[in-house]
């Protein structure tokens, strides 16, 4: 058994600390966020912080760290108001993860990987052609999280394109049918298989 206090964690070396704390929330979503600047420069970057905020209206959030390094994703979203969220599948994990390399703004990650930009229905931001779930997003608002100096971007789903075979009769999307990845820590990838659906729970007799 391993035990760490807050003070122990603060004294860990940088790499050990970020590996550990990034694993502590549990499995994370694996998405590529696509944007385009007003000047037409495309950008794509891997994010593991996309979360569901609500279904009615359909709202997703994600976290950016705009204050530490240049973040084209954030800049482009603020400029244009639009972005895409694309699920990462097994066949392009390596290319997806490589978008975390710190390229200059002039370089498009689409040119440095085998990821293919595609446009659907005149939406302004690029989708990732290979992705089994492609979501068009509109920026709504943002929150500056003071405790860590990060920003939560909140956006509304404008449209969803889901590959054949994933969507079930009751609306459930079986992510494992699309070989969609989950992220463990900073750089661990898994391709889960659906094990069980537990259904809606009602109180037992007391």
* CB-nearer residue toward a copy of itself: 4 or 119: 4
**In 3-state terms, what secondary structure has residue 64?**
strand
**Which whole-number Å values give the CA distances from 61 to 47, 87, 158, in the listed order?**
11, 15, 14
Q: What is the 3-state secondary structure (H, E, C) of 91-129?
A: HHHHHHHHCCCCCCCCCCHHHHCCCCEECCCCCCCCEEC
Neighbours of 132 (CB within 10 A): 22
What's the min distance (Å) between Cβ of 12 and a copy of itself? 7
- Identified binder of a copy of itself from the candidate list 45, 115, 117, 175, rule CB under 8 A: 175
User: What DSSP designation does 205 have?
Assistant: P
Establish if 43 lies at the interface with a copy of itself (CB under 8 A): no
Scanning 27-35, 36-44, 69-77 for contacts with a copy of itself by CB under 8 A, the matching segment is 27-35
Establish if 39 lies at the interface with a copy of itself (CB under 8 A): no
Site for a copy of itself in 108-167 (CB under 8 A): 112, 133, 135, 140-141, 143, 145-150, 152, 154, 156-164, 166-167
What's the min distance (Å) between Cβ of 21 and a copy of itself? 4
- Identified binder of a copy of itself from the candidate list 25, 38, 67, 91, rule CB under 8 A: 25
User: What DSSP designation does 90 have?
Assistant: G
Find out whether 92 and 116 touch, Cβ atoms under 8 Å: no
Q: Which residues pair with 118 in a beta bridge?
A: 127
* CB-nearer residue toward a copy of itself: 58 or 75: 58
* CB-nearer residue toward a copy of itself: 36 or 97: 97
Establish if 69 lies at the interface with a copy of itself (CB under 8 A): no
- Pick the closest to residue 155 from 31, 22, 28, 21 (CA basis): 31
* CB-nearer residue toward a copy of itself: 38 or 159: 159
């Amino acid at each position: 058994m391993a035990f760490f206090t807050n003070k122990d964690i603060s004294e860990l070396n940088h790499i050990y600390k970020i590996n550990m704390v990034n694993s502590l929330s549990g499995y994370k979503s694996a998405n590529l966020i696509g944007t385009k600047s007003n000047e037409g420069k495309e950008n794509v970057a891997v994010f593991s912080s996309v979360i569901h905020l609500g279904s009615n209206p359909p709202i997703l959030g994600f976290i950016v760290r705009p204050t530490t390094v240049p973040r084209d994703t954030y800049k482009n979203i603020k400029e244009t108001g639009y972005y895409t969220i694309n699920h990462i599948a097994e066949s392009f994990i390596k290319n997806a993860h490589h978008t975390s390399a710190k390229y200059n703004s002039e370089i498009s990650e689409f040119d440095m990987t085998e990821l293919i930009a595609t446009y659907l229905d005149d939406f302004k931001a690029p989708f990732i052609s290979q992705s089994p779930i492609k979501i068009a997003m509109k920026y709504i608002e943002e929150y500056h999280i003071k405790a860590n100096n990060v920003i939560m971007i909140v956006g509304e789903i404008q449209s969803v394109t889901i590959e054949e075979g994933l969507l079930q009769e009751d609306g459930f999307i079986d992510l494992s049918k699309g070989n969609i990845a989950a992220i463990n820590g900073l750089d661990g990838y898994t391709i889960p298989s659906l094990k069980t659906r537990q259904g809606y729970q009602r109180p037992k007799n007391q």
